[in-house]
Amino acid sequence: MNLKTKVSVILPIYNADKYLEKCVNTIINQTYSNLQIILVDDGSTDNSWDICQSLKTKDKRISIMTQNNSGVSVARNSGMDMADGDWIMFVDPDDYLDKRAIEILLANANSQTDIAICSCYGVDENAMSKKRAHFFEDNQTFNKNKSDLYLQLLNSSYKQTGSVFTAIGVPWGKLYRFSFLKKYSLRFDPSLRRMQDNIFNMYAFYFARNINYIDKSLYFYRLDHITDYAKRHRKDFPNIFKPIAVARTKGIYDLKLYKNYKIYDFYLQELAGIFFGVVNSLMITSNDFSNEVNHLKVNSVFKELFKNKKYKRITNKKIRLKLFIIDNNLYKLYSLAYNLWKK
In tens digits, the chain (343 residues) has pLDDT values of 567 899 999 999 999 999 999 999 999 999 999 999 999 999 999 999 999 999 999 999 999 999 999 999 999 999 999 999 999 999 999 999 999 999 999 999 999 999 999 999 888 776 666 777 787 666 788 998 999 999 999 998 888 776 556 789 999 999 999 999 999 999 999 999 999 999 999 999 999 999 999 989 999 998 876 555 555 556 788 999 999 999 999 999 999 999 999 999 999 999 999 999 999 999 888 889 999 999 999 999 999 999 999 999 999 999 999 999 999 999 889 888 777 666 4
Q: Which H/E stretch holds residue 248?
A: helix 237-254
* Torsion angle (degrees, nearest 10) of CA 50, 39, 5, 175: 140
Structure confidence at residue 76 (pLDDT): 98
Start-end of H helices in 175-219 = 178-183, 196-207
H/E element, 249:
helix 237-254
pLDDT of residue 341: 64
Say what the pTM is.
0.93
Cα Rg of the chain, angstroms: 21
pLDDT computed for residue 262 by the predictor: 96
Which residue segments constitute the domains of the chain, with CATH numbers given? 7-225 (3.90.550.10), 229-341 (no CATH)
Instruction: For Cα atoms 96, 226, 190, give the angle at the middle one, nearest 5 degrees.
Output: 80
Interatomic CA distance for residues 201 and 189, integer angstroms: 11
Among candidates 281, 72, 67, 304, which has minimal Cα distance to 191?
A: 72
Collect contacts of 138-141 with beta carbons under 8 A, ≥24 apart: 138/215, 139/108, 139/212, 139/213, 139/214, 139/215, 140/212, 140/213, 141/210, 141/211, 141/212, 141/213
